[in-house]
Structure 1
Amino acid sequence: MNIAILGATGHIAKNLIKGLSATKHYQLNLFARSTERLSAFLKENNISEQIHICDYEQFQQEATYDAIINCIGVGNPQDLVQNPFSVFQITEQYDNLILQYIQKKPATVYINLSSGAAYGSDFEAPATRDKILNLNVNNLTVKDYYGIAKLNMEAKHRSLHNLKIVDLRVFGFFSSYIDLESKFLITEIIDHVQTGEILYTSSEDIKRDYVHPEDFLQLVELCFNKNIKNDVYDVYSRNPLSKFEMLNYFADEHGLKFEIKVETAYASITGSKTNYYSNNDNAMGIGYQPRYTSLQSVRDGYQQFRMRNNDENN
């Protein structure tokens, strides 16, 4: 299969490149704004066979792709605060580029990385197939923008119902390639493990879902099926993970020091998300069966993270 991956230096994209290149079944055409960063990643991971490094000007000129994977997005929530318009601009620019391509070549499968934020910012309960979006349209704030951009993209894709477009709503993803500068709960925990400083947190427990890279790869490969239908699937692990389960794991296994402070609260830039995961398991309909729990994903990812950083420091 001839596959194009856009946003090839992103966190999830790096895992897909590593997983897909290992099978030797794919020709990967990798698009990135920084070909230098991409080349460094490929060299670090000894990935060289059946790889083409491309810039975006080449996208429309290349040979026919069997599948296109869109991994472009605002990966760091802090970037959304500093430049909120960018989430709309970047999302539209590259999505429209791909849509122009597949309208000319409708046999191509388009796999787009969407987000659980498409459900909105209300996650007092996890997402379900019947979840209703609540949106105060006369008082939109930064926490709404990301989800609106993703929902708009999904709506465009459903309107093109004759094309093979699949949106994968990612709620959480962790691996050794995570950017520690990104502002997430798990990166904050890792930062405090490394510095030895005490992490202060509230008594409120929250739940997160971290899909394992191997499970995500399984789902993506299921979407390569030439008979795939235009649809959207939530991405989930075998079991989500609570904040205190994660804190206790890092405390027991990696020496994290944390204390509960009543006035301390973890605030997500994209809204208060007490239960940010999904019980919508319609991906089972195409054969998706996750093997790993969120705790296993965190454990494996952090072990690989430590190995990678030890190698870099030696």
Structure 2
Amino acid sequence: MYDFSADSADCARAVEAGLSDYLTGASLSGPGPAAERLVAAMRHGSLEGGKRLRPLLVRQAAAIFSVPRQDTLRTGLAVEMVHCYSLIHDDLPAMDDDDMRRGRPTVHRAFDEASAILAGDALLTHAFSILADVQCHADPQVRVRLVAELAAGSGAGGMAGGQMRDIEGEKGGFSETDIAAMQAMKTGALIRASVRMGAILGGADARALSALTAYAEAAGRAFQLADDILDVTASPESMGKATGKDAEAGKQTLVGRLGIEAARKMLDGIVNEALLALRTFGPRADGLRATARYFAARQK
């Protein structure tokens, strides 16, 4: 029987160790030596925290196709580095202006704004270097597909574009459809990419990839809706960051539009949608099922 707690904890340990090994001056240098302050800022924004859910999704999707855990790690590291870059930049004064992340000062507070910007830039850049390396996968065609998938999920039509739409939404005028589209890009696109990258590692055919994409898109919606609920209901101490900021900033959320109870009912429906998308995979997809349920039930 699948054990979500054990698998997620094992993945988090592997990602923490992998990031710690990779984010060093020696690994990041070339053609010149990596600046020590930049490396320190990258490590501050990446290590000692985080649930590592996106690498877990890579691992769980690949497991459907019997890919060993260790063979998914480098792909997971690349996805997590993109996620960490996005958090560093989201916390900047020009964006969400947050002082705390994962229970400690954000990178621009621990260092300075310029260092935070460059740390995010470098994490994003080196993520693609990891995917391009033969250690990620022996087949160059697979590596190219992984690079393209992560670029799509994190670029103007994905996470970065979603963040832009989020900023635009602060002016008001968004419909529920607009909010859903924005969140599908801002949060859902990287979750979608994580699942699809795991499937690509496993050599999924078009039919399996389509089913997993449907799961991932629903799971991404569930994660963001749960996050918006927690922004209203959870304490800063439990979250490790400020809460209640969405309403203060005038951000457009489904929770703000629908109310807590209606949002929770919607969340249950979205999770069921994610689970239905996995029906053809049987017990091989129990990991992905557990993660979708976790997204809805999490308290931080």
Q: Shorter-chain TM-score: what band?
A: 0.3 to 0.5
TM-score, length-normalised on structure 2? 0.33
Bigger strand share:
1
Bigger helix share:
2
TM-score, length-normalised on structure 1? 0.32
Larger radius of gyration: 1
